[in-house]
Amino acid sequence: MGEDGHRPVRVVHYINQFFAGIGGEESADVGPELREGAVGPAIGLDRAMGDSGAVVATVFCGDNYVSANEERAAEEIAALIAGSDPDVVVAGPAFGSGRYGMACGLVASHVRTSLNLSVVTAMFNQAPGAEAYRASVPIVPTSETAVGMGPALEELARLALKLGAGDELGSAEEDGYIPSGLRHNVFSEQTGAERAIEMLIRKVKGDEYKTEWPLPTYSKVDPPDPIEAGDPLLVALVTEAGVVPKGNPDRIPSGWATHWGKYDLTGLDDLTQENYETVHGGFDTSKANEDPDRLVPLDAARILENQGRIKLHPFLYSTTGNVGSIKAMTDIGTEIAADLISSGVQAAIVGAT
């Protein structure tokens, strides 16, 4: 029994092949396996929980295996976890690792929805997995490298015991996890105006203050060098407005997009409701669907091309920016940019919502 007289919280810990002691990159393709009890970092997690919790099993899998077989890997790992009848599942910590962090987020998210179990993971707050999964699972912020293993396991233990006991987490500020980006209404004794004035006064006086609406931070992108005048520029049409051929052949999602489409505009001088539509889920698309040129100005671009002022690239690049994660949008933008550059495109007109 635990210190409080209750049964210790049963924990299953998910880690990758490296922390399981199987090997590094040469072993990154190994499939899911389960070991009874605590293995690798799970030993530290078990120790941090004291008598209040116990790691009953450790599940591990190679990072390559997960990234190459996401759906199958998640189901296989969940099946192993379910067999140990845990109260809570802990994944990681993954620190700044890209593949491992994404795997931890995937496993935690899948276990939470498919097994209806409480989960918690941990990683560096700027890791790709943190951005991709912070709205789905609680993520403890860690250092970028494994030098912070000790503190990370202590925090994971604290939240695992709380969740495993059936308690709900408080706000990100209260319980120390990465803000999910989801907001909930709460009642305050002060009106919004009173709180805003109070914050402004503290700011003017130089006192410490805290906004209720922290702004996200984005990496800075240096502008390219000016394009020299000369031959007509090769210009491409790009959009995050979800403008696609009628029927959406590539199944571009209406939100949380993970991929993009490339569509041949050869022979088209105009986008009409008969040949194109927008699948964007973040605004009223009725007017845009009446005339998709409102989002992708093909008609205007053809006029400029006929005047000899530009040369139009024959393909449209399209995705949906609606509630997209920074990680997914960065990947999509990088892929589109690489295709544009390889095609010799010098400038792009980006139609947005």
Structural domain range at position 310:
233-351
User: Does the N-terminal peptide bond of residue 93 adopt cis geometry, omega within 30 degrees of 0?
Assistant: yes
User: Is the model's pTM score more than 0.85?
Assistant: no
Query: Can you give the length of the chain in residues?
Result: 353
57-104 residue pLDDT tens: 999 999 999 999 999 999 999 999 999 999 999 999 999 998 999 999
Q: Are residues 167 and 23 in the same domain?
A: yes
Is residue 199 in some structural domain? no
129-155 residue pLDDT tens: 998 899 899 999 999 999 999 999 999
216-238 residue pLDDT tens: 667 778 888 888 777 889 999 99
186 CA to centre of own chain: 26
Q: Are residues 163 and 262 in the same domain?
A: no
The pLDDT of residue 29 is above 90 = yes
218 CA to centre of own chain: 14
Q: Are residues 149 and 271 in the same domain?
A: no
Pure H helices in 36-181: 41-49, 63-68, 70-82, 98-114, 128-133, 149-164, 172-175
Q: Are 303 and 297 in contact (CB under 8 A)?
A: no
CB atoms closer than 10 angstroms to residue 280: 27
- Spatial distance between the Cα atoms of 307 and 177, rounded to a whole number of angstroms: 57
Structural domain tally of the chain? Answer: 2
- Spatial distance between the Cα atoms of 41 and 316, rounded to a whole number of angstroms: 48
Is residue 113 in some structural domain? yes
Max distance between CA atoms of the chain, in angstroms, equals 83
Looking up residue 124, the CATH number of its domain turns out to be 3.40.50.280
Across the chain, what does the average pLDDT equal?
91
112 CA to centre of own chain: 16
Is residue 315 in some structural domain? yes
Is residue 17 in some structural domain? yes
Is residue 198 in some structural domain? no
Is residue 267 in some structural domain? yes
> Considering the chain, what percentage of its residues have pLDDT values greater than 90?
75
Q: Give the pLDDT band of residue 243 (cuts 50, 70, 90).
A: very high
CB atoms closer than 10 angstroms to residue 129: 28
